[in-house]
């Protein structure tokens, strides 16, 4: 059992003893009682030292979050609570509990703003009112961008997907000089590389579109009939997509590639798609197959592996990657 758990147990034994007003408790009495309980509960037969007991009493006397602010008095060789009604049971959060709460808050803060976590801000603030971590460095970090905009659209868009509501979206892409309005049957909210996107069937254009939430200007609900059949098709298609874009008229294809030996463990422990599977061992690596719809994001992913991956088939995708690598290489050859 971790040391901090054992310490928490010792505090509770001391508390139990000092609340027993039927007898006086000397330091030796407390040592013997704690040692007996440790053996009975955890099989520890080493007992505790006088120094450990004195440290425990000092910790219990300390103010939260380190301790409990316990009013322990030592007088005439005995220990007792100055307030006979006091108990640390009324102050159940020990340092280990507080540390765990802080870790949980660090994780939960990553999800503030999502509809499932509505009201989480208030919960975190309430907990933080009881957890003091001055000077403590952050020890867990998620891939996130604190400057991401457009997150306020997540909740209304999520509800529109859930309630099957057609939307009129006013949107301005990075490439468009002016915003435009489109009628959209929302399908999916998806985060990709720290940006949030709405994926939906574009009724105006007749094909699938994706919208960066940071580029949405206005959203209005419409009374148009929600196209469940089209949406269901799109949802199935997205099982075979890296990122958010699906080129019109495309279907999943088997993409075969070779990976060098040093890259293999990363692909095996963290496959970039559930369909990824090994099909052959090579002299200097392995051959894999993955079923995906070729799109811009997949190209970017493959290019990120550099010389560690070589596309074998289909030929059209192999040629596309080869051409992009050639163009990239030429940039370094220019004087």
Residue given tokens 């992009």 in the structure block: 324
What six digits make up the tokens of 118? Answer: 């509505």
> For 218-241, what is each residue's pLDDT tens digit?
999 998 888 887 777 777 777 888
CA 141 to chain centre: 9
Q: pLDDT tier at 7 (50, 70, 90 boundaries)?
A: confident
Find the radius of gyration of the CA atoms of the chain: 31
> For 74-101, what is each residue's pLDDT tens digit?
888 899 998 888 888 765 555 555 556 5
**What's the CA gap between 38 and 33, in Å, rounded?**
9
pLDDT-above-90 percentage for the chain: 32
- Is pTM beyond 0.75 here? no
Phi, psi of 43 (to 5 degrees): 75, 15
- The CA–CA distances, whole Å, from 193 to 14, 105, 196, 234 equal 52, 23, 8, 21
> For 172-199, what is each residue's pLDDT tens digit?
888 878 888 889 999 888 888 878 889 8
The reported pLDDT for the residue numbered 254 is: 95
Return the number of other C-beta atoms located less than 10 Å from residue 124's C-beta. Answer: 19
Phi, psi of 171 (to 5 degrees): -145, 140
What average pLDDT does the structure give for the chain? 81
Strands (E), 194-272: 195-202, 207-212, 216-221, 253-260
């Amino acid at each position: 059992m971790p040391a901090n758990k054992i310490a928490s147990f010792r505090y509770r034994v001391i508390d139990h003893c000092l609340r027993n007003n039927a007898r006086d408790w000397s330091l030796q009495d407390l040592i013997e009682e704690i040692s007996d309980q440790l053996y009975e509960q955890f099989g520890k037969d080493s007992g505790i030292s006088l120094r450990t007991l004195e440290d425990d009493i000092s910790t219990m006397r300390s103010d939260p979050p380190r301790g409990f602010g316990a009013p322990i008095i030592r007088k005439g060789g005995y220990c007792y609570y100055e307030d006979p009604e006091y108990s640390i049971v009324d102050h159940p959060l020990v340092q280990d509990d507080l540390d765990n709460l802080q870790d949980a808050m660090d994780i939960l803060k990553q999800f503030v703003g999502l509809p499932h976590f509505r009201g989480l801000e208030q919960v975190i603030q309430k907990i933080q009112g009881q957890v003091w971590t001055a000077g403590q460095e952050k020890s867990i970090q998620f891939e996130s961008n604190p400057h991401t905009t457009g997150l306020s659209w997540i909740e209304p868009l999520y509800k529109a997907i859930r309630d099957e509501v057609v939307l009129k979206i006013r949107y301005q892409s990075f490439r468009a000089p002016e915003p435009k309005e489109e009628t959209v049957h929302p399908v999916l909210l998806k985060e990709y590389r720290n940006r949030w996107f709405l994926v939906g069937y574009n009724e105006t254009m007749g094909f699938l579109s994706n919208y960066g939430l940071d580029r949405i200007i206005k959203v209005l609900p419409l009374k148009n009939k929600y196209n469940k059949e089209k949406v269901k098709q799109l949802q199935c298609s997205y099982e075979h997509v890296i990122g958010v874009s699906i080129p019109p008229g495309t279907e999943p294809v088997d993409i075969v590639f070779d990976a060098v030996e040093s890259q293999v463990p990363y692909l095996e422990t963290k496959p970039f798609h559930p369909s990824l599977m090994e099909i052959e061992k090579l002299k200097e690596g392995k051959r894999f197959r993955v079923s995906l719809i070729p799109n811009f994001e997949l190209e970017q992913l493959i290019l990120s592996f550099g010389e560690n991956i070589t596309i074998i088939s289909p030929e059209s995708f192999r040629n596309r990657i080869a051409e992009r690598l050639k163009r990239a290489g030429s940039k370094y050859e220019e004087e």
